[in-house]
Structure 1
């Protein structure tokens, strides 16, 4: 997937450590290593090319100082490959009506599922 190949150590660590992912924007992911006592001190941003969908970079010291494929990039690649992470979510996803929508019976007021999913905003 990426121009840099993940070395065996990075792949093993990506598979054995616990990571969480936040999609900040399409192709821009905050990766948190939840295996540490203070996960917030172990957050890095992984970027993915929006055309080729190849992993491009990570803000962790391993990638920056060694220009190496790091465990954060490997964790993102693994999560994308197994379908648990969508690094390029569609903007249309928020427009779809939730299965439990009840807006019709609320006289123009949005139901909570539509507000929670961002489909509709609460009126002022």
Structure 2
């Protein structure tokens, strides 16, 4: 609860370094560059996974940086998986193993035919 309150009262800047990797700068500090962290998000479940800040690293707890990213993604101001809007990627489709059992889910690129079990893996295929 403290993390959520801090996330709502502090000023943050976001930069999507790669799909699911958000560099966050806490601009409420006198030296914002000393308060830059990376928050990672699982590209399948879109759950917050980790933050590089000392609070999360040493205590493994939900921090204000993760709360800020969650707030920004929930209200639509931050798109952490920009490749999802790409019309060339379709799916997901069900994949089957050699015995005909459901084996995996995959996404194909309609332009080059590449397939991946993670949609975000197709960002550089063609």
TM-score scaled by length of structure 1: 0.67
- Residue 28 of structure 1 corresponds to 21
Could you tell me which runs of 5 or more consecutive residues in structure 1 were left unpaired when the two chains were aligned: 1-7, 94-124
Distance 2:7 2:40 in 1: 17
TM-score scaled by length of structure 2: 0.66
1:64 matched to 2:41? The reply is no
Could you tell me which runs of 5 or more consecutive residues in structure 2 were left unpaired when the two chains were aligned: 87-126
* Aligned length, in residue pairs: 86
Question: If each structure's strand is expressed as a fraction of its own residues, which one has the higher value?
Answer: 2
Cα deviation code 1:21-51 (max 9, x no counterpart)? 0000000010000000110000000000000
1:18 matched to 2:11? The reply is yes
Distance 2:59 2:85 in 1: 39
Distance 1:44 1:29 in 2: 8
Question: If each structure's helix is expressed as a fraction of its own residues, which one has the higher value?
Answer: 1
1:52 matched to 2:45? The reply is yes
More displaced stretch, 13-22 vs 82-91: 82-91
Larger relative contact order (CA 8 Å, sep ≥ 6): 1
Structure (1 or 2) with the larger CA radius of gyration:
1
> 1:92 Cα shift?
6.9
What's the Cα RMSD here?
A: 1.3
Distance 1:28 1:51 in 2: 13
